């Protein structure tokens, strides 16, 4: 009887929670952004406006538009932890994304993705390893996580993997099937 109780507690502690159980505000300050996305397949990407990888916004917007009708969304998560490449205010970030790249997908509040102040969303996401077996800390801007309809982390893609790369598109289509 005791071993069954211990086993149950262990399973409860080892359970990976749905990202929908995590609270993160929108860039505009509204709370509970993920509540509005629950049930969708989401590509979560830590973004920055002054990075060599910033042109990925174009492909992110394209895949967002291409798959939105099937229950898909990109979620951009601004972060200033990598060489100060996202220094702007919420208003500046929103203006840059809209005016420069025509971004229509949701953007969250600016958060830390690594370190002691790591946002709870990234505490969940970073447990997933990418195709090379790398998990843990975010390596750079534009690291991508594919999240399933139930909030489970399905895949992780490194910063240099383009949002429209065959492996990302295949994973999105599989998750939407």
Catalytic (active-site) positions: 51
The answer for residues whose C-beta is within 8 angstroms of residue 148's C-beta and 6 or more apart is: 41, 154, 175
The span from the CA of 167 to the CA of 175, in Å, is 12
Q: Name the helix (H) or strand (E) containing 95.
A: helix 90-101
- Could you tell me if 60 and 74 are in contact, meaning their C-beta atoms sit under 8 angstroms apart? yes
The span from the CA of 158 to the CA of 35, in Å, is 26
3-state SS, residue 94: helix
Count of CB atoms situated within 10 Å of the CB of 104:
13
What's phi and psi for 152, nearest 5 deg? -90, 145
């Amino acid at each position: 009887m005791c071993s069954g109780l211990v086993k149950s507690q262990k399973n409860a502690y080892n359970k990976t929670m749905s990202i929908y159980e995590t609270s993160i505000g929108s860039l505009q300050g509204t709370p509970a952004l993920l509540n509005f996305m629950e049930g969708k397949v989401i590509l979560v990407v830590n973004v920055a406006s002054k990075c060599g990888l910033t042109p990925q916004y174009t492909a992110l917007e394209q895949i967002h538009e291409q798959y939105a009708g099937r229950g898909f969304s990109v979620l951009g998560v601004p972060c200033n932890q990598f060489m100060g490449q996202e220094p702007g205010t919420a208003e500046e970030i929103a203006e840059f994304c809209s005016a420069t790249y025509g971004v229509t997908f949701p953007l969250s509040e600016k958060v830390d993705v690594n370190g002691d102040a790591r946002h709870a969303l990234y505490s969940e996401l970073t447990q997933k390893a990418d195709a090379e077996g790398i998990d843990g800390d975010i390596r750079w801007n534009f690291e991508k996580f594919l999240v399933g309809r139930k909030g489970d982390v399905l895949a992780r893609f490194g910063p240099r993997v383009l949002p429209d790369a065959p492996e990302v598109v295949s994973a999105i289509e599989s998750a939407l099937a």
